[in-house]
Amino acid sequence: MNARERLREAKRIVVKVGTSTLVRTSGKPDFRRMDRLVREIADLKNAGREMVLVSSGAIAIGMDSIGLQKKPAEIPARQALAAIGQSSLMTLYKKFFADYGQTAAQVLLTKENAARHHQYANSRNALLELLAMGAVPVINENDVVAVDEIKIGDNDTLSATVATLIDADALLILSDIDGLYTANPQEDKTARLIPEVAEITPEIERMAGGAGSSFGTGGMATKIEAAKIAVNAGATFVIAPSAKDDVISAVLAGESVGTVFPARESHLRVRKSWLAFGKRIAGDVIVDEGCEEAMRTHGSSLLAAGIRAVEGGFAAGTTVRVLSARQQEIARGIVNYSAQQIEKIAGRKSRDFAGLIEGEIHEEVIHRDNMVLMV
């Protein structure tokens, strides 16, 4: 079964919609688009699908509420706008969903809900219970309290984290453009739409562009990062054009719309999902080809002998990415050593560690039980 066919069978779907889809260029809410989006989600739910909506737009709607034309740079001001706009945004969603016989449930998350394992599990259980009750969770990041979370692409990443939390079958990100192109279609007339990305390589990542519209905070680069999270958690990922009528239904019917990223075959267990996608990435470890092959083929632990370089000033016990020599992400995991210690033992055998570093000695830099492969 190919990726498009799998979408026809998808039961639990996360849909992410950006600010530019919900808000007109004037800064006013686009009621027609909101109504169309909600009507389609409600109809799919009536057809037996479980639907979750991750929605941006609170800050933009807050700006409109007080007549502000330009988004402020200061975080406290953005948080205040989010507080003003979130209640208005949710009121609109509750009204639209009620018009189509559905119950919307507001859920506000921060990365703290994912970074701590017990909060990750609690968030998962709450979302699954909402789905069991027949509600449609409408999720946004809690910008009012998330001091360092208002940044480019936060809700792209949030939607992928939600898909991971609930073992979603598919994640659809509705975008201003049709999907991933070979180049920026606004600047390069020869740019071609890529209908399917079988593997997210460094070349694919380099195709991603910069930030989006003046109201939104997302860019193609953050969507590629979200794709990486989703497919490794077992969800088929699609970037699709928000302007197309009934686009969600078309994607779930298996039509060739947008760009699809096939899911990896196996779902991660809850702890592995949290390990890979809940905890913050503190730095990178670059490995040689032999180490890369051992990890890809056998899922081996990361040993110091295969390490070529370290990036970032991370501490022991934090989560890092393991990169190949060509900068492709191979794995994520919890390191037993700090960056400073790894620099001293890189390329060495474990029997040499005692003479190079102080403290507890571990044979593995990252044990396979604390590591998730990303390839």
Q: Is 223 annotated as a binding residue?
A: yes
User: Domain ends where: 222, 240, 264?
Assistant: 264
User: Domain ends where: 264, 290, 317?
Assistant: 264
Give the CATH number, domain containing residue 217. 3.40.1160.10
Count of structural domains within the chain: 2
In whole angstroms, how far apart are CA 45 and each of 18, 31, 99? Answer: 21, 21, 14
Q: Is 175 annotated as a binding residue?
A: yes
What mean pLDDT, rounded, does the chain reach? 87
Give yes or no for a contact between 336 and 367, defined as CB atoms under 8 angstroms apart.
yes
272 lies in some domain: no
Q: How confident is the model over 300-344, as pLDDT tens digits? A: 999 999 999 999 999 998 899 999 999 999 999 999 999 999 999
Give the CATH number, domain containing residue 317. 2.30.130.10
Q: Is 222 annotated as a binding residue?
A: yes
223 lies in some domain: yes
Note whether 318 and 188 are same-domain residues.
no
Q: Is 236 annotated as a binding residue?
A: no
Rounded to whole angstroms, how far apart are CA atoms 12 and 173? 14
Q: Is 16 annotated as a binding residue?
A: yes
Note whether 93 and 239 are same-domain residues.
yes
Note whether 321 and 218 are same-domain residues.
no
Q: Is 259 annotated as a binding residue?
A: no
* Residue ranges making up the domain that contains 317: 277-373
pLDDT number for residue 244: 93
Tokens of 335: 């390191």
Percent of the chain with pLDDT over 90: 59
Is the pLDDT at 54 greater than 90? The verdict is yes
271 lies in some domain: no
Q: Is 64 annotated as a binding residue?
A: no
pLDDT number for residue 148: 53
Give the pLDDT band (50/70/90) at residue 10.
very high
Q: Is 284 annotated as a binding residue?
A: no
pLDDT number for residue 276: 61
Is the pLDDT at 212 greater than 70? The verdict is no
Note whether 254 and 284 are same-domain residues.
no
Note whether 302 and 219 are same-domain residues.
no
Note whether 260 and 222 are same-domain residues.
yes
Question: Strand locations in the chain, DSSP E?
Answer: 12-17, 50-55, 104-109, 136-141, 170-175, 236-241, 259-261, 281-287, 307-311, 319-323, 329-334, 371-373
Tokens of 230: 């989703």
Rounded to whole angstroms, how far apart are CA atoms 175 and 42? 20
Q: How confident is the model over 145-188, as pLDDT tens digits? A: 555 544 434 688 889 989 988 989 999 999 988 999 988 887 88
Q: Is 219 annotated as a binding residue?
A: yes
Note whether 42 and 159 are same-domain residues.
yes
Note whether 285 and 313 are same-domain residues.
yes
